[in-house]
Amino acid sequence: MENQELVKHVTEKAEKWLAPAYDAETQAEVKRMLDSEDKTELIECFYKDLEFGTGGLRGIMGAGSNRMNIYTVGAATQGLANYLNKCFADRDSISVVVGHDCRNNSRKFAEISADIFSANGIKVYLFDDLRPTPEVSFAIRHLGCQSGINITASHNPKEYNGYKAYWDDGAQVLSPHDTAIIDEVNKVTVDDIKFNGNKALIQIIGEEVDKAYLEQVHTISIDPEVIARQKDLSIVYTPLHGAGRALIPASLKLWGFENVHCVEAQMVKDGNFPTVVSPNPENAEALTLAIKLAKEINADIVMASDPDADRVGMACKDSKGEWVLINGNQTCLIFLYYIIKNRIAMGKMQPNDFIVKTIVTTELIKAVADKNGIEMRDCYTGFKWIAREIRLSEGKKQYIGGGEESYGFLAEDFVRDKDAVSACSLLAEICAWAKDQGKTLYDVLMDIYVEYGFSKETTVNVVKPGKSGADEIKAMMDNFRANSPKEIGGSPVVLVKDYKTLKATDSQGNATSLDMPETSNVLQFFTQDGTKISVRPSGTEPKIKFYIEVKGKLECPKCYASVDAEAAAKIEAVRKSLNI
């Protein structure tokens, strides 16, 4: 009966998409789904409306309320325009930035969004071509805009596209604006969407903003002299067909690096990502061509950015000269270790400096911060929360860096989202600093482990697509709450943090409050042996994520293999305990 009700619901919803307000192509696609005996596709496309998550609006492209198309993008833009006109009614003019990445339909969605904003009396600064997400964030602040959007699905597969919404501080939209925008979007009917733009209100931008942004990125260099000494550092870079191609090689050149080799096949703008299975620098496969080139030229470092150039992946040579990937936790750890260590060495560290990490990112960062007397803050997953910490302390304390395990890092405060342009530039400086001491990036990582303790992290993604998947994910979270594990991987659970209730409960049942800005559907389990497990449904993808961190002790770099193997065995025991 429940399934019949669902089919009835989606059928009624889909039939509205046969109205004349929808174009012929969309109507034909919807009619095909309605006529099909198998209603699975119809359900997937219409069982819900796309919603803003930790990364904005994101979904598979196609017809339907649960798909990325000109109508869902149009409704989002019309709703945002309505909200902006309400919020800033006292202003003489309202302006927004519109950017996009390399994905199929990205330019189309960007131009349609620009038309809708302008039709609502809002001035639009539209980038002339694809640009990195962080530059869109920068441009909002640089041009004094009230909002902005970027059309991108970040590192998702080619079938996806997305819509990141930003506020006047250049950060992704947070409460109360996020829910208020959704309320406005939900009021929008297809007839309300003003598709016919006012070209007089659309200004094309490009090179002048690039120049200002790159000059600002250059200001975060901590030790220009080490770059001058190591300007021949051999760098291999790939944009994975995306927006990094526009600015990352230029930024490396501006910083003084003269030996940069781009993976030519992946410098081609292509939303089908023909040279990779998935354009995600977290995946080893995505770096295959870059590592191949690095081996050919005996490079010092490999770096890759995702399609919208906000995440950075990297590989370096280990003690045996073999190329190994540096994971997101290690990436964030290395960046913050370098910033802290060298700001202190250069006399640049100030008493009011602070760093930020997300709650699922390695606890080793806290060890580094504590030992050096630097304030460290924990926040929720999603860079909008790191941006919030910057905003809260603006004019009082100085943000000097922050990141998350999912390969995002921000080394500056003139951008309010993760930034692969500045991260790649700073990464090159870190490698130059290491090489200046006869070390590699791998050696730096080993130095950190010896001094601050060893940790090994892994993320397990349990993918559950569609409505049935969403129901399964909810059931899994409910079960963890109702039947909290008493031991994990052979070690007793000593603390449980539930961010949905904002309570931390120890093994004796004593509860304390968690100081967070709002609730979130995240659970964390801490065991006696120092293991941390975080569980959360993804805000942008049909999956539930398990973040596992186990601890160890590294006496010397030569012990790494055995310590790492012990940690891997412990992770397997954790996975077995959690049945994942």
Given the residues 113, 154, 406, 520, select the one marked as catalytic: 154
Burial grade of 559 (CB within 10 A; 0-12, 13-18, 19 or more): middle
Q: Tokens representing 521?
A: 């559907």
> Phi, psi at residue 219, to the nearest 5°?
-70, -15
- CA separation, residue 250 to residues 255, 267, 269, 424, 563 (Å): 9, 13, 17, 11, 40
All structural domains of the chain with their residue ranges: 48-205, 213-452, 456-578
CATH class of 48-205: alpha beta
Q: Which of 525, 520, 528 is nearest to 580 (CA)?
A: 525
Q: What pLDDT, in 10s, does the model give residues 79-106?
A: 999 999 999 999 999 999 999 999 999 9
What is the amino acid identity at position 43? I
Strands 301-305 and 235-238, by their bridges, are parallel
- Please state the pTM of the whole predicted model: 0.94
How many alpha carbons fall within 13 Å on the CB side of residue 271? 18
Q: Is 93 exposed, middle or buried (0-12, 13-18, 19+ CB in 10 A)?
A: exposed
Q: What is the mean pLDDT of the chain?
A: 96
Q: Tell which CATH architecture fits domain 456-578.
A: 2-Layer Sandwich (3.30)
CA 311/CA 201 separation, integer angstroms: 32
Q: Compute the distance between CA of residue 232 and CA of residue 259 in angstroms, rounded to an integer.
A: 5
The residues, any chain, with a CB within 8 Å of residue 579's CB and separated by 6 or more, are: none
- How high is the pLDDT of residue 1? 36
Query: 213-452, superfamily in CATH?
Result: Alpha-D-Glucose-1,6-Bisphosphate, subunit A, domain 3 (3.40.120.10)
pLDDT in tens, the chain (580 residues): 358 899 999 999 999 999 999 999 999 999 999 999 999 999 999 998 887 655 678 999 999 999 999 999 999 999 999 999 999 999 999 999 999 999 999 999 999 999 999 999 999 999 999 999 999 999 999 999 999 999 999 999 999 999 999 999 999 998 889 888 888 988 999 999 999 999 999 999 999 999 999 999 999 999 999 999 999 999 999 999 999 998 999 999 999 999 999 999 999 999 999 999 999 999 999 999 999 999 999 999 999 999 999 999 999 999 999 999 999 999 999 999 999 999 999 999 999 999 999 999 999 999 999 999 999 999 999 899 999 999 999 999 999 999 999 999 999 999 999 999 999 999 999 999 999 999 999 999 999 999 999 999 999 999 988 888 888 999 999 999 999 999 999 999 999 999 999 999 999 999 999 999 999 999 999 999 999 999 999 866 789 999 999 999 999 999 999 999 999 999 999 999 999 9
For 111, the 3-state DSSP assignment is: helix
Give yes or no: 562 in active site: no
Q: From CA 122, how far away is CA 146, in angstroms rounded?
A: 10
Domains 213-452 and 456-578 share a fold: no
pLDDT in tens, 112-150: 999 999 999 999 999 999 999 999 999 999 999 999 999
What span, in angstroms and rounded, lies between the C-alpha atoms of 249 and 254?
Answer: 9
